[in-house]
Amino acid sequence: MLSPEEFRERYPEEKLAEELPDSPIGSLRDIQYLYGKLYTLATTGGGEYAPYLTPDAAGDLEDSGDSLIVVRADLSGDEPRLADRIDPVWVTSYSEDQVQDVAHCKYPAARGIDHSVTHQSGQNSDPEKLARYAKERLTKWATDDVVQEVAENHDEGWIIKELVELGEDEGALDEIEGTLTTALGGESTTALLTVQVQLDEDEGYRWPGDLDVFMEAMRQRKLSKLVTKNKADDSSGNATDLVTGEPTRTVGTSEDPQNYFLGKQLEKFPGLDIEEAWRTHPISEDAAVTVMNADTFVEACTYRTFGAKVYCLPYFFGRPSIDDAYTLYSTLHAAANADESRTTPIENVYQRRTDWSIDTNRLRFYVSAVMPHQMSRYDVFGETLNGRIQYPAELARSHVDVLRTAAFRDDDRWTAAFPTNEGWTLLDGEGLLGPIASGWYFAETLPTGEDEASADDIRIEALVDVLSGTPIPVSMLLDGYVERIIEEDTDEQFPRFRVASQYAQLCALAGAEEEFLTADDQQRSIAEQPTYRIRTMESRENLAITDGGFEGDQNLEEFIENTPALGHDQRCGVFLLGALVGAVGSYQEWPLERSTTLVDQFPVKSITTNRIKKVAQDAIEKTLTYTREEKKREGKQYPGTKFDYIVDRLRKTILNPDPDEWDLDKSDLRFYYALGVTYGMNDRPLSDDDEAAAEIEEEATS
């Protein structure tokens, strides 16, 4: 495959302009057609037969031992015979410069021979099998109906007829087998098998690529499959080519690199059968073959997420200009030649957007998440022609900003509202574009689901929504968040890093300049951007100690004020309830070292509007008990009760209206309860001892 520089040299602007499609990109087929064009130009070049060759199919064989087996036929005399002045079968090593010579055209079916006279053996075939394939160049390929038809009508048709004649000579076939077996010395190998012919005594042996009749026969064999695959007799007719828009002969059973269309699907339309497949999917022969050639580039732009295969195909909005084509080629070449890296096409292009001067406003991605069931039954779970770099990049930026705010960054004396952790992707904030583009960003926060994603998997929906800038419904996220929390909220430990990750994500989505969230009236405020202070990284020593007031109280006040979602009384009430349960639970765990705490006693899945009052009573009672005990035990004197800054606020919000009359959606209720628990568990003064303790704890959890 040509390097991007070689590609530019080989196809200067004017030359490339002649090859590029004239119509703007408007469908998946248009993208595949453009990819196929670029691939053909970069591998087999221009010319009549180039699109029919499959140069990558035998790429693995290049320069690898006995990888090319050539049967030599001398057709210069009256009777065809095997070469006698040189070896009748030549075993050698296949190399890149022989791609054009052997003109291989693979037919991917498990059975059947390749379209070209050149045939690729299976992995490590034994000498007997290879001998059979070698003989079949004469006995099977040359006698094929389509090849015979070409032989009848072509000026050089006699060459094929003489091959057939040679194949009828048992002695010659035995000689092929004998020579080949000896040459291989009993070893198995993977090889391309082909023929060379000598047409005139004075000249040498010619490769199939040098002879038009071989090429034409190869082409006709490939074309025949476009109309006869799956037992159709002739699925073709005159219609408008869906790629070029030109009226032409169209074919119905061509292959689609993504298997979205199969000729044999009858579906439920009456009268729709394979012979008529060209009517529903009219594509010209040229376009069909070009689309098939997109396969290498299409496959290079895929990755796996949640068991689904994600296609992420870059293209430029509108008609591909020459510059677009060069850039696109560089992108695809890089993807096709990447080693097993885990970076997605979106990241790759993002990293090089400046080098390649990419107009990010015009650069788009076709994105689809496909679940293959069996070989050819595909389900597409999410799809867009309008993926763009700017959306995931903006979300990544917004997320980093969120982690720099008071909600996630401690001040000098008191903890932030929520914990951060280097071991958690969403609480670390470094290099989030990759996780966002790959779907990991949502795999971290939404339900893990079954082994395989299903059609209604919200991780895929969220992924495709973000890539295409489609707003995600807040209710969908909350449902997913709560399901994931309940999955993990076991007796062992409350999943506070998970909840913090979810909240960071929610804030990042709400804070991004793009509209990533959509909500109904009750949840609209969740989609609003919180206004937390940005905290810069100043060392503690440099910070002036503020005076006046209890810092935990001030922080809570500030957090509520700066969180638009908590402007809703019921939501704020349940958040405060969670905060109290978290704070008491934390106190029970340390310093009291209780094995079961309030947090375990009231897990997220147990929270309903009916139980709010009961949970609140229990939690408030505990604060009174612990205040009494602490004062008695330690002789401490302080006004009020423990956690009264939470309790006072809770009392106000939880009574108006009475929880029995609350109408907050269940997931909304539970998520903000969980968020409160996380807040309460994290809420404490920082001393050096605390920091050390916190570090130990974080190491243990990460």
Nearer to other proteins, 317 or 356 (CB): 317
Residue 475 found at the interface with other proteins (CB under 8 A): no
Among 4, 10, 23, 140, binds other proteins (CB under 8 A): 23
Phi, psi of 289 (to 5 degrees): -65, -40
Is residue 319 at the binding interface for other proteins, with CB under 8 A as the rule? Answer: yes
Establish if 166 lies at the interface with other proteins (CB under 8 A): no
Residue environment code for 484-511, b if the CB has 16+ CB neighbours within 10 A, otherwise e: bbbeebeeeebbbbbbbbbbbbbbbbbb
Among 85, 111, 268, 636, binds other proteins (CB under 8 A): 268
- Taking the complex as a whole, how short is the minimal distance between the CB of residue 261 and other proteins, in angstroms? 6
85 part of the interface to other proteins, by CB under 8 A: no
Q: Give the residue with the Cβ less far from other proteins, 383 or 665.
A: 383
Applying CB under 8 A, does 251 fall inside the site for other proteins? no
Angstrom distance (rounded) from CA 327 to CA 349:
10
Residue 284 carries which DSSP code?
A: E
User: Interface with other proteins includes 649 (CB under 8 A)?
Assistant: no
Q: Sign of dihedral through CA atoms 562, 564, 568, 574?
A: negative
Strand 68-74 with 192-198, pairing? parallel
Q: How far is the CB of 243 from other proteins (least distance, A)?
A: 9
Q: Does 253 bind other proteins (CB under 8 A)?
A: no
| CA angle, 148 then 149 then 155, to 5° | 90
What contacts 630, CB < 8 A, 6 or more positions away?
636, 642
282 binds other proteins (CB under 8 A): yes
Q: Is 656 in the site for other proteins (CB under 8 A)?
A: no
CA 375 to chain centre: 19
Segment contacting other proteins by CB under 8 A, of 190-198, 280-288, 306-314, 673-681: 280-288
| Residue 266 touching other proteins (CB under 8 A) | yes
User: Judged by CB under 8 A, does residue 247 bind other proteins?
Assistant: yes
Three-state SS across 631-699? HHHHCCCCCCCCCHHHHHHHHHHHCCCCHHHCCCCHHHHHHHHHHHHHHHHHCCECCHHHHHHHHHHHH
Single out the residue of 97, 170, 355, 456 in contact with other proteins (rule: CB under 8 A). 456
CB 119 within 8 A of CB 192: yes
State yes or no: residue 400 binds other proteins (CB under 8 A). no
Shortest CB 290 distance to other proteins, Å: 15
Q: Choose one: 105-113, 127-135, 271-279, 398-406; the region binding other proteins (CB under 8 A).
A: 271-279
> Interface residues for other proteins in 352-371 (CB under 8 A)?
361-362, 370
Using the rule CB under 8 A, is 529 a contact of other proteins? no
CB atoms within 10 A of CB 238: 10
Give the integer Cα–Cα distance in Å for 370 and 305. Answer: 10
Q: Which stretch binds other proteins (CB under 8 A): 1-9, 233-241, 331-339, 669-677?
A: 233-241
Close Cβ partners of 41 (under 8 Å, ≥ 6 residues apart): 2, 7, 10, 11, 16, 19, 50
Q: Using CA atoms, how far apart are residues 301 and 313, in angstroms rounded to an integer?
A: 6
248 touches other proteins (CB under 8 A): no
Rule CB under 8 A: is residue 522 a binding residue for other proteins?
Answer: no
Residue 375 touches other proteins, criterion: CB under 8 A? no
Interacting stretch for other proteins, rule CB under 8 A, among 109-117, 264-272, 481-489, 652-660?
A: 264-272
Candidate segments 90-98, 134-142, 232-240, 435-443, binder of other proteins by CB under 8 A: 232-240
Q: Which is nearer to other proteins, 264 or 613 (CB)?
A: 264
End-to-end CA distance of the chain: 45
Closer to other proteins at the Cβ: 387 or 582? 387
Interface region with other proteins, contact rule CB under 8 A, candidates 45-53, 244-252, 583-591, 631-639: 244-252
Q: Per CB under 8 A, does 665 bind other proteins?
A: no
SS3 per-residue string spanning 431-470? CCHHHHHHCHHHHCCCCCCCCCCCCCCHHHHHHHHHHHCC
Cα separation, 380 vs 369, in Å, equals: 6
Q: Give the three-state DSSP class for 303.
A: strand
Out of 390, 475, 529, 601, point to the residue binding other proteins (CB under 8 A). Answer: 390
Judged by CB under 8 A, the residue of 5, 267, 430, 660 near other proteins is: 267
Q: State how far Cα 167 lies from the chain centre.
A: 49
Distances (CA, A) of 503 to 420, 478, 499, 674, 676: 11, 10, 6, 10, 11
* Residue 286 binds other proteins (CB under 8 A): no
Beta-strand pair 283-284/247-251:
antiparallel
Is residue 470 part of the contact set for other proteins (CB under 8 A)?
yes
Q: Which is nearer to other proteins, 59 or 471 (CB)?
A: 471
Helix 157-167 and helix 212-228, axial crossing angle in degrees, nearest 10: 80
143 lines the binding site for other proteins (CB under 8 A): no
# residues contacting other proteins (CB under 8 A): 58
DSSP-derived secondary structure for 481-498: HHHHHHHH--SS---HHH
Report the nearest approach of other proteins to the CB of residue 530 (Å).
22
Determine, following the binding rule CB under 8 A, whether residue 548 of this chain makes contact with other proteins. no
Judged by beta carbon, residue 74 or residue 461, the one nearer other proteins is 461
User: Is residue 42 a contact partner of residue 7, using CB atoms and an 8 Å limit?
Assistant: yes
Can you tell me which of 158, 205, 260, 414 binds other proteins, judged by CB under 8 A?
Answer: 260
**Position 30 contacts other proteins (CB under 8 A):** yes
Q: Say if CB 232 and CB 274 are below 8 A apart.
A: yes
* Nearer residue to other proteins within complex by CB, 246 or 629: 246
Torsion angle in degrees (nearest 10) through CA of 623, 629, 634, 640? 40
Q: Note the residues at the interface with other proteins (CB under 8 A).
A: 22-30, 237-240, 242, 244-247, 256, 259-262, 264-268, 271, 276, 279-282, 317-319, 361-362, 370, 376-386, 390, 454-456, 461, 469-470
